[in-house]
Structure 1
Amino acid sequence: MIHALAGRDLTVTASQLESWRRTGLLPRHRRRGLGQGRGSVVDVVDPLVVESAAALARHLRQGRDRRLAVLEWFAEAGMPPASPGTTPVPEPPAAAVRKALVWALQRSASQRLVEFARSAAGAGEEGQDALYAAAGRLMGHYRRAANPALVRAALETGEDVPVEAQGPDFRSMVHLVAAIGLGAREVGADALAEAFAASGMFGLTAEEWAQMLGAEERGEVPAVDWGLLQQNADVVAQVQRASDEELVRAREVLVGLRWFYGLYVLHGLLLPDTPAQAALRQRIDDLGMFPVLDHVIAIRPSPRQLAESLTACLDTPLDGLYETLMEQLADNPDIFSIPGDDTSPAGFGEKWIRTMAEQTQAGSASAGAG
């Protein structure tokens, strides 16, 4: 097997292979006993073992925690083969995946905030102030991506991207974190309305959220089960509760949503539009889910980002969004077919490159004239 991996420019030693076997990351080849105390021998090299060792060799390097490599391996196993006929990447051991996810999530900013929020409960105003300060530090760096439709319109007209394209500041989400530890009633309807509006969910304004939450607070509508907020905030517990099949499903949802999100964002970068693309964007907009995707999805996530995004995809809203978009894609799969244009997908790409080049030239000419 060492020679087989060397043929792929992957250097692995016998001691490394044995270490991976001892820790349960690498299965052993089937061996046949020779009888009469003569030991055993491997008749056939198992392709699954070779591919598993190759995956580990790709993602492990000296001094790197194996759990990070397992997360990258798990992500790679969920991707389609690079080309037809390519051997699929095997799944890593499910127990190792769960252990790696829990380890990464315990060190995540979101889990640290949950634990801090819970510790602030009952600590009075000092505890509340400390919680808001900590949440502000951990969340203040994040701002949503600019609205792709407004960015596209600005590029096409040669104008500056409007301020409103940026959307509300995500820092208001700190109120949701506070509600986890202090309780929704303690935080209040107005503050929570700001948080939900900043999340962008359902496209509702802070005023609209305030009206609904205020009605709930006054008992005019059925009570909200705020316990669900507490339950879903604990990402470590979510992963521990999930079955192996649910973790694999969450990965499928995450990979699919990453593709849909990328398509939506590229609309802002002058990707040639088609009815199929417009229909997908409309489905996302109807559900008010672009801001949620923007928060959850990273195009090239680190292993720790992968762990957090995967956990988000265990929840019903993102799973449901994925199903909705897959149904829409099945109804109209011609994502890269421009009406009246019989060119191949290669022609679609050429048109995009040409449009970008023309836009760059127009921008340079405008700058020169100024």
Structure 2
Amino acid sequence: MPRGAPSPADLQVISELADQGMVVTVSQLESWRRAGLLPRHRRRGLGRGRGSVVDEVDPAVVAGAAVLARHLQQGRDRRLAVLAWFAEAGTPQPPGAETVPEPPMAAVRQALEWALRGSLSHRLLDAARSAAGQGEEGLDAFYTAAGRLLAAHPHRAAAHPALVRKALLTDEALPQAPNPRGMVHLVAAMGLGAQEVGPDALGEAFASWGMYGLGAKDWARILQAAERGEGPPVDWELLRQNADTLGPVRQAGDEELVRARTVAIGLRPFYALYTMHGLLMPDTPALAALRQRIDERGMGPLLDHLIGLDPSPRQFAEALTACLQPHLDELYEALMQQAAADPNIFHLSGDDTGAAGFMQAWLRALHEQTAAGQETG
């Protein structure tokens, strides 16, 4: 074969991908191999001095190239494609669909660290750390920098679904979403120290996240009592440990990263059921029990911050990293156990039509709400 000529195996890969509607070139295949994303064809030796030959194209090469072709749109960073690939490989596929191969874990780790360094939370922490030790001036400088970052990257937040549902049913004003300034207070405590932020600001932070339904003054009193030794002590070391976003990824084994992916993806449907309660979805004992598992742990605001139903690769990286923590793994297991104990999530009492009747009831509720809104408007 002439030097530089494409191998028959690569031509076969390109042909198979073309049959799937994908255009891939020989140079792309070689570029993906050099980046460690695509294996080379397995070759069989022909004997001493006779070289080697590819007997047949490895299906793993075709499958890997197909995933990369799907996710590497023109101009997209290759590390974003790796994260999208890793997410797709862990997402349940419809019956009969081909299994998505796993990307190389070394590439996954590299992509995770790169995405985390560019995340809003990491940049906020960097700003807090750079202001450490500068007293009031440093604190003011951090809040100024944080304000600019939040303005450039608006934070998605939602009010508790039970409050949203109540407002819709009573024709009241919708509750305000959590103030992103609460997250800034927490980041300041991580980077500068809780003592620099103070109980009032931290109380505002916990309240803005809707934690356990307590207000800012309630939280401030609890934290002040802890400072005076009149209440349970607060382990601020845990807050400082959570400031290390890269360490957990570097320390986690491959199986731990795969498990965190399972948790991050597995929490999505539970989060959807939780939030849809605010959009007048019919309630059932099974749904109420799932929401209770989330609310009794005060995890609703955290899920709202982390879990996206169709997350970008960067959002997926942050969620996966958070799901390395035991409390999110425990929540996922509790929700899975609850769903197994009472699987009649979409079964309305007295209705034998199952999910179909459930959806009809939901559509009817939305239609009635829309009609009522038009009448009052």
Per the normalisation by structure 1, the TM-score is: 0.91
Q: Write the letter of the residue equivalent to 1:151.
A: V
Deviation at 1:366, TM superposition (A): 3.9
1:303 aligns with 2:316: no
Q: Write the letter of the residue equivalent to 1:196.
A: F
1:225 is aligned to 235
Looking at structure 2, the residues matched to 210 and 355 of structure 1 have their Cα atoms a distance apart, in angstroms, of 40
Q: Does the C-alpha gap of structure 1 residues 353 and 39 become closer, same or farther in structure 2, counting only changes over 3 Å? A: farther
1:24 is aligned to 36
2:108 is aligned to 97
Moved more, 31-40 or 187-196: 31-40
| CA-to-aligned-CA distance 1:156-201 (integer Å, 9 cap, x gap) | 44x1334xx2254231332222222321122222222221222222
- Secondary structure in 1 matching 2:79: helix
Moved more, 95-104 or 299-308: 299-308
Percent identity among equivalent residues?
65
1:8 is aligned to 20
| CA-to-aligned-CA distance 1:96-151 (integer Å, 9 cap, x gap) | 00100100111111111111111111223322211011123334643631332233
| CA-to-aligned-CA distance 1:329-366 (integer Å, 9 cap, x gap) | 11101111112211143443344334333433343344
Moved more, 100-109 or 285-294: 285-294
Looking at structure 2, the residues matched to 291 and 323 of structure 1 have their Cα atoms a distance apart, in angstroms, of 18
1:318 is aligned to 328
Deviation at 1:38, TM superposition (A): 3.7
Q: Write the letter of the residue equivalent to 1:23.
A: A
Moved more, 122-131 or 325-334: 122-131
- Secondary structure in 2 matching 1:142: coil
1:64 aligns with 2:76: yes
Deviation at 1:153, TM superposition (A): 3.1
Q: Write the letter of the residue equivalent to 1:22.
A: R
Contact 2:351 2:357 (C-alpha < 8 Å) held by counterparts? no
Looking at structure 2, the residues matched to 151 and 223 of structure 1 have their Cα atoms a distance apart, in angstroms, of 34
1:123 is aligned to 134
| CA-to-aligned-CA distance 1:28-71 (integer Å, 9 cap, x gap) | 23222233544322223322222111111100023221001001
| CA-to-aligned-CA distance 1:306-335 (integer Å, 9 cap, x gap) | 111211111122222111111111110111
1:287 aligns with 2:294: no
Contact 1:150 1:161 (C-alpha < 8 Å) held by counterparts? no
1:73 aligns with 2:82: no
Contact 1:253 1:313 (C-alpha < 8 Å) held by counterparts? yes
| Equivalent in 244, 255, 262 of residue 272 of structure 2 | 262
1:107 aligns with 2:102: no
1:178 aligns with 2:188: yes
1:149 aligns with 2:162: yes
Q: Write the letter of the residue equivalent to 1:184.
A: A
Contact 2:307 2:319 (C-alpha < 8 Å) held by counterparts? yes
- Secondary structure in 1 matching 2:246: helix
1:85 is aligned to 96
Contact 1:201 1:288 (C-alpha < 8 Å) held by counterparts? yes
Q: Write the letter of the residue equivalent to 2:308.
A: A
Deviation at 1:95, TM superposition (A): 0.7
2:249 is aligned to 239
Contact 1:74 1:92 (C-alpha < 8 Å) held by counterparts? yes
| CA-to-aligned-CA distance 1:202-238 (integer Å, 9 cap, x gap) | 3332233223322221234564332222221121222
- Secondary structure in 2 matching 1:181: helix
| Equivalent runs, 1:192-203 vs 2, <5 Å | 192-203=202-213
Contact 1:173 1:194 (C-alpha < 8 Å) held by counterparts? no
Number of paired residues? 363
1:134 is aligned to 145
Q: Write the letter of the residue equivalent to 2:160.
A: N
